[in-house]
Amino acid sequence: MTAMLEVKDLEVSYGKIVAVKGISFSVEQGQVVSLIGTNGAGKTTTLRTISGLLRPSGGEITFMGQRIDKVPAHDIVTMGLAHSPEGRRIFPRLSVEENLLLGAFARNDHGAIRKDLDAAYELFPILGERRKQPAGTFSGGEQQMLAMGRAMMSKPKLLMLDEPSMGLSPIMMKRIMSTVTELQRQGTTILLVEQNAQAALKRADYGYVLEVGQIVLSGSGRELLVNDDVRKAYLGED
C-alpha cells in the first residue's frame, strides 16, 4: 500500500539556517501520526512546507500519489490536505461562523458547506451556540476548536494539527485530544504535531521524534511511550 502522505529526504532552510535536515516519514490512510519534539526541532517548518507555505530546498512530498512540493498552497487544500496552524490564527473580529466559512473558501458546493457547518457545530456545540459572536472573545481552548473546525470545513482527507494543546488547561486539552480520536473514527487521517509527547503518543498509531531538524526515533505510539529515551527527554522521567 502506498502511503497517503510520503515525505522523502525533506530539507528546508531559512537563508543559511537549515531547519529541516533531510527527514523522511509517511502517513497511511486512516492513521493518527504524531510528530513530537521540543522547541525549534522543525515541526512547524515541516507542516508549513507540506502545506505549500514554504518551499523545500531538497526532497520530495507526495500526497495521494501526486508530488505537491511545487503545488500552490490553495491547490493543496483543494486536493484534500488541511492545516490547523500553530497559534490558531483565527480572525478575531469575524464571527465564529465567518471564520468557519473561510475554511471552505476553495469549495463551491454550497448545500454541502451548510451541512458541514452543522457537522462542525455537532463536533463542538459551543461553536454553534456562539456562531454570531466575534471569535476574538473566545478562550484559548474555544479558539482551538474553531481552528480545527475551520480546517475541517475544507473537507480534508488529511488534517494537520500544529500544537493543538498549546496553552490549554488539562481538561480542555483532553477535550481537544478526544476530538482527534473522533475525527479519526469519522475517517479523517491526522498528522499531529505536539510538544506534549504524552498526549500525542497516546493517540498515535505511529510517531516520529524530531530533534534539531532530524528524525531520531520512530515507532508505534505505544512503543515510543515506553521507550526509555522518550521517557527521559519528553515525559520528564528519570
Name the site residues for ligand ATP (rule: CB under 6 A): 14, 17, 19, 37, 39-45, 86, 195
Residue 16 or 70: the one with the smaller Cβ distance to ligand ATP is 16
Q: CA–CA separation, 219 vs 215, rounded Å?
A: 11
Q: CB 174 → ligand ATP: shortest distance, Å?
A: 21
Residue 9 or 109: the one with the smaller Cβ distance to ligand ATP is 9
Cell numbers representing residue 64 in the block: 495521494
Q: What is the DSSP string of 60-87?
A: EEEETTEE-TTS-HHHHHHHTEEEE-TT
Q: CA–CA separation, 118 vs 120, rounded Å?
A: 5
Residue 34 or 45: the one with the smaller Cβ distance to ligand ATP is 45
Backbone angles phi, psi at 211, to 5 degrees: -135, 130
Give the C-alpha distances (Å, rounded to integers) separating 51 from 48, 91, 157, 158: 5, 20, 13, 11
CB 92 within 8 A of CB 136: yes
Residue 142 or 163: the one with the smaller Cβ distance to ligand ATP is 163
Q: CB 89 → ligand ATP: shortest distance, Å?
A: 13
Residue 119 or 216: the one with the smaller Cβ distance to ligand ATP is 216
